[in-house]
Amino acid sequence: MTVSKLPNRIFIKLLLGFWFCSSLIIAIVGLLPLLQQNHDRAPLPPHLERMLTRVANNISERLISDPQTINTSRLKRLTHLRDRNDKPVRFYIVDHQGRVINSHKVSRGLRRFMLMSDEVDRPMTHQFKSELIFGPYKFNAAGEQYSIYGRLADHHPRPWFFFFAENKLLTLGLAIILSGLLCGLLAWHLGKPLRTLKLTADSLAAGDLANRVDKSTTKRKDEIGQLALAFNSMADSVENMVHSQQRLISDISHELRTPLTRLQLALALARKKGQDTAETQRIGYEAEQLEQMIAELLELSRVKLNIHDTKHLVSLNETLSQVLDDADFEAAQQGKVLVIDIDDAISLPTNPRPLARAIENLLRNAIRYAEQQISITAQSSEKEVTITIADDGPGIENEQDLKAVFDPFYRPQTARERESGGWGLGLAITKAAIDAHQGEIVADNLTPHGLRVTIKLPS
């Protein structure tokens, strides 16, 4: 498979994503002081400049005609006006030594503004929290140089970035949240298809060989899309191989039945002619055993091939009624007791025949090895139905056998004898049937002795 040459590989996405997030934070932190500085040094609006000029001209004329005006209360009246919105404007006269000559009370904002204007060396405005200060306008009067500043003691709208510039912790928190959202979006974009791949892999591991990664993931042009395509291709190959193997077992089992039938027919003819010897009886017995093994192989293959058959909501008692009756009769014939505790209200989606065969295999094993009593119970919850089959037999000594006992052709060491151990296909058929219902089956030993098999099926 060729690697995509488009510039949207995961490396590029990760690089651009984190680069963009870090660049955004740096830009926010860096631009706010710059925006504030540019606003602090904004040029003087024409209407404010005209006000400063008019006041300066009035003061200059008054000082020329009466130099003592600088020390009179009339100068204070000249520096109290109203703007075009009829708001009071206060003006401050500053001499060449930087002293305010028309007021003894100077706000901290005005002192700060005077320092700011000295750095700029031109008229400007600045909006403080509760006042707008503008100026200076320089003029000469009576041989002296003066500067005039204006002050609007009112709250004026300030640009949005002033709020963030003055609340640095809040700005930093918002930048972190924004970068987190962007990184989260990137992580979701990369993590969603990976979660889809994981769920598909889990389904395949659970036996759902038909499950595939969705098209939205396979259509991606990055490495994840290529991985999804490769994963689906692998799943196709695995499904074909497993189905081929199961069909091969089924076909071989069918083909073996033909010569087996001929063998049994030949034996019947020989017996009819009076040729019934110990050898022919042994051949007949082995032929019957072989036929039973082929039947179980066909059953195992059939259960695995039909694992995705449609299931119907059926009462558990109804599904197992015939199996329980037969097991109760078989236990009674051997002088043993079968205790049944299954509520009639328990229902679950099942394929009745495989489930009944699974429970039948477990009950027969329990009856075979039990000393006196066998029990089968069923409990239902919101999500699952739990079926437990227990006996008071010897159990399984080796702990490893408890896990491997459901594998095909596997028999514990204590059950190697053909008469008691079979071929190791009954429990394999049981597990295949439980897997077909997306359930779980486990075996464990009881104390002081006995074996318990627990089945959990989704309800």
Catalytic residue positions?
Answer: 254
One-letter amino acid for residue 246 of the chain: Q
> If you ran DSSP here, which 8-state letter would residue 122 be given?
S
Contacts of residue 318, defined as CB under 8 A and 6 or more positions apart, other chains included, come to none
Token pair, residue 152, equals 């609007």
Q: By the 8 A CB rule, do 338 and 331 touch? A: yes
Q: By the 8 A CB rule, do 115 and 32 touch? A: no
Distance of CA 303 to the CA centre of its chain: 34
d(CA 129, CA 126): 10
Distance of CA 80 to the CA centre of its chain: 68
d(CA 194, CA 237): 21
Helix (H) or strand (E) holding 258: helix 223-272
* Percent helix, strand and coil across the chain, each to the nearest 5: 55, 15, 25
Q: By the 8 A CB rule, do 41 and 119 touch? A: no
Peptide bond before 123: cis, by omega within 30 degrees of 0? no
Helix (H) or strand (E) holding 95: none
> If you ran DSSP here, which 8-state letter would residue 155 be given?
-
d(CA 72, CA 95): 16
d(CA 99, CA 147): 10
Token pair, residue 155, equals 């709250």
Q: By the 8 A CB rule, do 213 and 228 touch? A: yes
Q: By the 8 A CB rule, do 317 and 344 touch? A: yes
Number of neighbouring beta carbons within 10 Å of residue 223: 15
> If you ran DSSP here, which 8-state letter would residue 206 be given?
T
Q: By the 8 A CB rule, do 395 and 450 touch? A: yes
Q: By the 8 A CB rule, do 323 and 342 touch? A: no
